[in-house]
Chains A and B, each alone.
Chain A
C-alpha cells in the first residue's frame, strides 16, 4: 500500500463484499476490453521521501537561483522583500487545502480574505470594485480588453507598445481566435505620445490599454492619455505595478475605467513565472461586467455579518454558453499571500518599499552610467524602479560576464523593442547599496 492510500488489503476485501464484486479488476469491466490498458505505465517505481528530496536537490544543483545571482532583472517578475508572516500564515492548510468557497458557512476564512483583498486593492487603485483575481497580469489584460469590448459592443483595442510584451503576445493569441483587433501604438523615446495615440483611435475602438510605469520603466502621462481615451469615448484601461501605487497617482484620479496588472510583487515568490495573481478592478458602473469571482458582504439568518460569493449570475457555471468569460478559478492562495503582504506592510510599509525602490533605482542609474559602459536609452524620462540603458558591448557578453560573477543583470531589449545592446535594469528595495556598488565596479573592470 502507498502511504497516501488508507485502505488495507482486508478493507478492500470487506468493501468488495458489500459491493458484491469479486475483485478490484471487476470494477473496471464496464470499460470495453479493447480499451483496457493492460500494460505497465512507463513510469519509474515510486520514490521514497528521502529519494524524492534528494532528486529535487540534485535538480536544483543544475540551476542557478537568484540566491546565487544577485537579481537586477525585473521585466514583469520581481524580487521584492517577502515578510516571514506570509509563509507561516499562507501555509496554514485550512486555507490551502480548501476548495472554492461555495459552502460559505464553513469558508468564512477564505471569503473574508478575498473581501479584505478587494478592499485593499481598491484603496491602492482608487477603484470601487475588484474581483478575486485572475491567472496573471497578461490574462487580466485579455479579460479587461474583452470587458471593454462588451461594454462598448466593439471589437478593437488600442494598446501602447509600452504594455508588457508577454501581455501583448497573450492578447494576440486570444484576439486571433475571437476576431478581435489589436492596434499597437509606437513609443517615442520610451513613452506613449498622446498625439500618436489620438491618431490611432477610431470610432470602432472599445478601449485603450496603457501601462505605467511602462515595460521600459518610464512613467507615462496618464492624465493626458486618459483624456484621449475619454474624448474618443473609449474605456481607459491602466496596467499598473501595485507597489508603485504607494507613491504614484491612483488610476482612479487619472480617469481609468479599469485597472489591471500583475500582483506578484505583493508578497508572492518569483517562482519562475508562476503561479502569480492578476488583478482587475473597476468603477461601480461596470461591476456587473467584471469577469471571475467576487465576494460580497451580507448577513446570515441571525443577522450576523457574513461573506459570500456574489453576482454569480455572471459566471460560467450559471451562464454556460452565454458566459463572456470561462474563468472559474481565482488565484486563491496568491490572493492570500498578497493580502497578508498588504496587511503586514500596511500604509507606511508599502510607501517605504516604493520609496526605497525609487531611491535605489535612481542611484543605480547614475552609477551604471558612470561605469562608462552604458548610455541612457531614453534621455530625460521619469522612471520608478526599472530603467533602460544601452551598451556598445554585445548584450550576451555582458549578461554572461555578470552571471559568471554572481549577478543576474538587465533584461535584453533587442527582441521585443529592437534596441540592440539594450538592458532593462530593475532595482527593488531588496538590493543593497553594496550590491549596486559591486555590480558597477564589476562592470567597470569588464
Chain B
C-alpha cells in the first residue's frame, strides 16, 4: 500500500534549505536603495517555502499521485473530448528551435514558425470548410468571444447598429450565453425540442432585424445531428443574422461533414478537445476561429501571410478588430495540434470521427437497458443518459458518478445538458479500445444494480479515493483561499 502524501509546501519548509543554483553574478553589486527610492523597496520577505530539490520532487510527485489523467485511465467526460494526448506532441512542443523564440523577433528569424502557423491555419480551414483561420484565441470561450466580436464588427461596418441580440438555444454550453453577455449583446434564449434539436418555430419567432447572430453546436449537446441545419442557416441569413458554430463537438464530424458547408459563417475550434492537446488540469487550451471570406478583413491582427516566398506578420489590416490576446495565441498548443493533424493525416482524421461515433453508439446500446436513454436513436460522438432506470430516485446521478470513482474511472459529465433530468453525458472518444468500453459499461451496469440492491453503497461513495466527498458549502462559507487563511483557524 502506497502512503498518501498529505503535506502542504509550507509545512515541509525549513529555513536554510535551497533547491536552486545560480552562478556568481560577476558584476558589481549595487545597493538597491542607491538606485530606487526606499519607499518603493520591499520591507519584509515574501514567505515562500524553503526546500531542497528532493523535497520539491517528492512533493509534486506525491501530489501527482492524487490526480487522475487520461494516461491514468478512461475519461468519458461528455463534451470535453478527453482523448489520448500523443507523446510526440510533447516532444514537438519542446524542440528548442521551435520553442525558444522571443515573440518580438524579426520575421526573418521566424520563417519555420510562421510557416507552421500558416499551414496549421490552412489545415484547420480545410477540415471545417472555412476560408480563413486566426490562431489568436487562448481557449474555446475566448474563441467564442472573438467570434461574436467579429459578428458585431461586421454589422457595425454595414452601419447596422440595431442588431443587439444573440439567439442561444437553452441546450447550449454555458459559455455561449455568458460570452454573448460579455460581448455586450442581449441574449434571447430559445427552447429546444425534447430531443435537444433547434425548435425551428421558436427560432423563427425570435428572428428579427435586431438579431446579430445565432450560436449553435452541431451535433447538439445531446450528441444528435441537427437535421434542419440547412433550413436554420437560411432562416438566420434571410433575417440578416450570422450563424456561429461552437466547435466543441467537432470530433464527431471530421471528414464527414463540414460546418462551412452547413452554412456557418464563423466558428471556433477547441484544439484541446478535437486536436488532442492536453487539458493540463484546466488549461491552457487554444480556440482558433474560422471565418468565411466576407469576415476575413475583421480578423485580429497580426495575420500570418505569405509574400514572395517569405512569411510575415501582417499588421496592415485596416478593418481588423485589433488584438484579443497578448502576442499571437497559445503557440505551444498550436505546435502540438499541428503535429497531431500531420501525424493523423487525411485518412486518420476521418478515422477519428468514425471511431468516436462507433464507440459512442456501441456504449449507448450496452447501457440503455439499465439507464434511461431519453433519445434512443443514432448518436454522434456522445450520448446523454437520464439516470439509473426505475430506482425510485433513491440514487442520483451524482451518486452514480461518485461510485464510478471507486471503480477507478473518471465519471462522465453530469447534470448537463440542463434540459435532460439527471443527465449523464458520455463521450468515449476514438482512442479507447472495445475492451476499455466494455469494462466501463460492466462497471456502470453493476452500479445500476447496486443502486437497487444496496443504494447506500452509492450514497456514501467514493470509498477508496485519497479524500471522500467534500463539504463544498463549507468551502464557500468559511473561505480559506491561502495557507495564511488556514492558519487563522
Contact of A310 (CB < 8 Å), options: B225, B432, B475: B475
> Is the CB–CB distance between A27 and B97 below 8 Å?
no
CA distance A302 to B470 in the complex (A): 9
CA distance A428 to B279 in the complex (A): 31
> Is the CB–CB distance between B405 and A106 below 8 Å?
yes
> Is the CB–CB distance between A96 and B281 below 8 Å?
yes
CA distance A111 to B174 in the complex (A): 22
CA distance A323 to B256 in the complex (A): 35
Whole-angstrom distance from the CB of A38 to the nearest CB of chain B?
9
**Which residues of chain A are within 8 angstroms of B27 by Cβ–Cβ distance?**
359-360, 362-363, 433, 436
| Contacts A104-B467, A301-B468, A333-B280 given; does A44 touch B481 at CB 8 Å | no
CA distance A122 to B366 in the complex (A): 50
> Is the CB–CB distance between B40 and A29 below 8 Å?
no
Q: Select from chain A the residue with minimum beta-carbon distance to B109.
A: A64
Q: Select from chain A the residue with minimum beta-carbon distance to B324.
A: A173
Contact of B323 (CB < 8 Å), options: A36, A57, A173, A359: A173
The verdict on A445 contacting chain B, using a C-beta distance below 8 Å, is no
Binds B, one of A181-189, A198-206, A229-237, A340-348: A340-348
CA distance A316 to B90 in the complex (A): 31
**Which residues of chain A are within 8 angstroms of B351 by Cβ–Cβ distance?**
1-2, 5
Binds A, one of B48-56, B200-208, B445-453: B48-56
Contact of A106 (CB < 8 Å), options: B68, B181, B380: B68
Binds A, one of B236-244, B354-362, B385-393: B354-362
**Which residues of chain A are within 8 angstroms of B95 by Cβ–Cβ distance?**
56-57, 60
**Which residues of chain B are within 8 angstroms of A15 by Cβ–Cβ distance?**
358-359, 361-362, 434
The verdict on A147 contacting chain B, using a C-beta distance below 8 Å, is no
The verdict on B116 contacting chain A, using a C-beta distance below 8 Å, is yes
> Is the CB–CB distance between B281 and A271 below 8 Å?
no
Contact with A along B8-33 (1 / 0, CB 8 A): 11100100011110110111111010
CA distance A56 to B123 in the complex (A): 16
Contact of A6 (CB < 8 Å), options: B43, B103, B433, B466: B433
CA distance A75 to B435 in the complex (A): 52
**Which residues of chain B are within 8 angstroms of A62 by Cβ–Cβ distance?**
111-113, 115
**Which residues of chain A are within 8 angstroms of B64 by Cβ–Cβ distance?**
89, 92, 94-95, 109
> Is the CB–CB distance between B149 and A173 below 8 Å?
yes
The verdict on A376 contacting chain B, using a C-beta distance below 8 Å, is no
> Is the CB–CB distance between A316 and B174 below 8 Å?
yes
The verdict on A214 contacting chain B, using a C-beta distance below 8 Å, is no
> Is the CB–CB distance between A176 and B322 below 8 Å?
yes
> Is the CB–CB distance between B142 and A296 below 8 Å?
no
Whole-angstrom distance from the CB of A23 to the nearest CB of chain B?
10
| Contacts A93-B71, A94-B65, A322-B181 given; does A40 touch B346 at CB 8 Å | yes
Whole-angstrom distance from the CB of A177 to the nearest CB of chain B?
5
The verdict on B77 contacting chain A, using a C-beta distance below 8 Å, is yes
**Which residues of chain A are within 8 angstroms of B90 by Cβ–Cβ distance?**
91
CA distance A28 to B283 in the complex (A): 32
> Is the CB–CB distance between B109 and A403 below 8 Å?
yes
The verdict on A393 contacting chain B, using a C-beta distance below 8 Å, is no
**Which residues of chain B are within 8 angstroms of A173 by Cβ–Cβ distance?**
149, 300, 321-324
CA distance A276 to B345 in the complex (A): 29
Whole-angstrom distance from the CB of B215 to the nearest CB of chain A?
11
The verdict on A351 contacting chain B, using a C-beta distance below 8 Å, is yes
The verdict on B158 contacting chain A, using a C-beta distance below 8 Å, is no
Contact with B along A22-55 (1 / 0, CB 8 A): 0010011111101111001111111111001101
Whole-angstrom distance from the CB of A409 to the nearest CB of chain B?
11
> Is the CB–CB distance between A177 and B149 below 8 Å?
yes
CA distance A308 to B83 in the complex (A): 25
> Is the CB–CB distance between A343 and B279 below 8 Å?
no
> Is the CB–CB distance between A304 and B434 below 8 Å?
no
> Is the CB–CB distance between B42 and A245 below 8 Å?
yes
**Which residues of chain A are within 8 angstroms of B281 by Cβ–Cβ distance?**
95-96, 98-101, 107, 109-110, 113, 332-333, 336
| Contacts A6-B433, A55-B342, A325-B182 given; does A272 touch B20 at CB 8 Å | no
Contact with B along A386-408 (1 / 0, CB 8 A): 00000000000001100100001
Whole-angstrom distance from the CB of B411 to the nearest CB of chain A?
6
The verdict on A246 contacting chain B, using a C-beta distance below 8 Å, is yes
The verdict on B91 contacting chain A, using a C-beta distance below 8 Å, is yes
Q: Select from chain A the residue with minimum beta-carbon distance to B279.
A: A99
Whole-angstrom distance from the CB of A387 to the nearest CB of chain B?
11
| Contacts A15-B434, A223-B39 given; does A411 touch B332 at CB 8 Å | no
Whole-angstrom distance from the CB of A356 to the nearest CB of chain B?
5
**Which residues of chain B are within 8 angstroms of A48 by Cβ–Cβ distance?**
343
Q: Select from chain B the residue with minimum beta-carbon distance to A223.
A: B39
Interface residues of B in 406-447 (CB under 8 A from A): 410-411, 416, 430-434, 436
The verdict on A319 contacting chain B, using a C-beta distance below 8 Å, is yes
**Which residues of chain A are within 8 angstroms of B341 by Cβ–Cβ distance?**
43
> Is the CB–CB distance between A53 and B91 below 8 Å?
yes
**Which residues of chain B are within 8 angstroms of A166 by Cβ–Cβ distance?**
323, 326-327
CA distance A329 to B329 in the complex (A): 15
**Which residues of chain B are within 8 angstroms of A56 by Cβ–Cβ distance?**
92, 95, 98, 339
Contact of A359 (CB < 8 Å), options: B28, B92, B111: B28
3 smallest beta-carbon distances between A and B, as pairs: A273-B327, A46-B345, A60-B97
Taking A60-B98, A164-B326 as given, write out 7 further A-B residue pairs in contact, using a Cβ cutoff of 8 Å, ordered by the A residue number.
A41-B346, A47-B342, A101-B282, A275-B286, A332-B281, A348-B50, A384-B36
User: Please, could you name 29 A-B residue pairs with CB atoms under 8 Å apart, sorted by A?
Assistant: A6-B436, A7-B433, A35-B257, A35-B262, A43-B349, A44-B346, A59-B112, A63-B97, A63-B109, A67-B97, A71-B102, A97-B72, A106-B466, A116-B8, A122-B481, A124-B48, A139-B142, A173-B149, A249-B42, A269-B99, A294-B481, A313-B476, A321-B189, A326-B175, A333-B284, A355-B29, A399-B106, A400-B106, A403-B108
